[in-house]
């Protein structure tokens, strides 16, 4: 079945994928699945027939992160999702018992994430949010994001947000800027562990970051934000 969503640039055709996660079947709408390395290279170089908004695409990092979250009991946890995109990881976290605040800067991505949550019977909170003008001062048990570390200029803003949680889980296909940020956080006292996934020919990592008891997260946030 073909679905469409209206945007300021016209109608965006959507595809549907079904997944088995957290003991149930999921139906996720997306503008295109970017799984293989060639698909990603073609997309990033603009070599696709239609220019698809980044946030409307289903990325391998989101799939890997969703699989990792599906194995966890998140009952009663407050979870913040950054760069929600199609909304799959956040929806899975909500299905595992979390209160999820799902954020994205793109209105199209939030609309798509909302549709995906509703079609799967998931209730969560959504907010439009810009990492460079962050106003949420809440603390979270877990902060999650898929493929959000690609831009070095955004790292200081992301680190300030990460400091609002004691645990961070990030899906990433080992991009160089991402590894640089993760290395810097480890040097600042965060414990970093890795779960490895492979989707077709695309290697993806899900990185778990924990703030040790000796790490002054609030001080880190002030230093990075300043």
The reported pLDDT for the residue numbered 12 is 74
Domains and CATH numbers, the chain: 59-225 (3.40.50.150)
- Hey, what's the torsion of the CAs at 207, 77, 85, 206, to 10 degrees? 10
The reported pLDDT for the residue numbered 214 is 47
The reported pLDDT for the residue numbered 47 is 53
d(CA 161, CA 97): 23
Per-residue pLDDT tens digits for 99-157: 999 999 998 899 999 999 999 999 999 999 999 999 999 999 999 999 999 999 999 99
CB atoms under 10 Å from CB of 15, counted, come to: 14
Q: Which residues in the chain land under pLDDT 50?
A: 1-2, 7-9, 214, 216-226
d(CA 194, CA 57): 24
Contact 66, 77 (CB under 8 A): no
Tokens coding 116: 């995906």
The reported pLDDT for the residue numbered 226 is 39
DSSP class of 96: T
The reported pLDDT for the residue numbered 24 is 95
Helix, strand, coil proportions of the chain in percent (round to 5)? 35, 35, 35
The reported pLDDT for the residue numbered 223 is 42
b or e along 135-146 (b: 16 or more beta carbons within 10 Å of the residue's beta carbon)? eeeeebebbbbb
The reported pLDDT for the residue numbered 9 is 40
Q: Identify the three-state secondary structure at position 34.
A: coil
The reported pLDDT for the residue numbered 201 is 81
d(CA 147, CA 60): 9
Chain-centroid distance, C-alpha 49: 26
């Amino acid at each position: 079945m073909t679905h469409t969503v209206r945007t300021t640039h016209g109608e965006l055709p959507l595809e549907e994928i079904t997944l088995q996660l957290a003991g149930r079947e999921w139906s996720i709408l997306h503008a295109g699945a970017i799984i293989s390395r060639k698909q990603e290279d073609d997309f990033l170089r603009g070599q696709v027939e239609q220019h698809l908004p980044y946030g409307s695409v289903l990325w391998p990092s989101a799939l890997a992160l969703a699989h990792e979250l599906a194995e966890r009991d998140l009952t009663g946890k407050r979870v913040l999702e950054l760069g929600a995109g199609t909304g799959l990881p956040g929806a899975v976290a909500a299905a595992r018992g979390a209160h999820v605040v799902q954020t994205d800067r793109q209105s199209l991505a939030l609309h798509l994430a909302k549709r995906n949550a509703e079609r799967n019977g998931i209730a969560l909170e959504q907010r439009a949010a810009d990492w460079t003008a962050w106003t949420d001062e809440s603390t979270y048990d877990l902060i999650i994001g898929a493929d959000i570390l690609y831009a070095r200029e955004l790292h200081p803003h992301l680190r300030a947000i990460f400091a609002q949680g004691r645990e961070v889980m990030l899906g990433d296909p080992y991009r160089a800027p991402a590894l640089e940020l993760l290395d810097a956080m480890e040097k600042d006292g965060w414990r970093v562990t890795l779960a490895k996934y492979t989707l077709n020919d695309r290697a993806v990592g899900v990185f778990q970051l924990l703030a040790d008891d000796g790490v002054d997260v609030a001080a880190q946030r002030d230093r990075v934000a300043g």
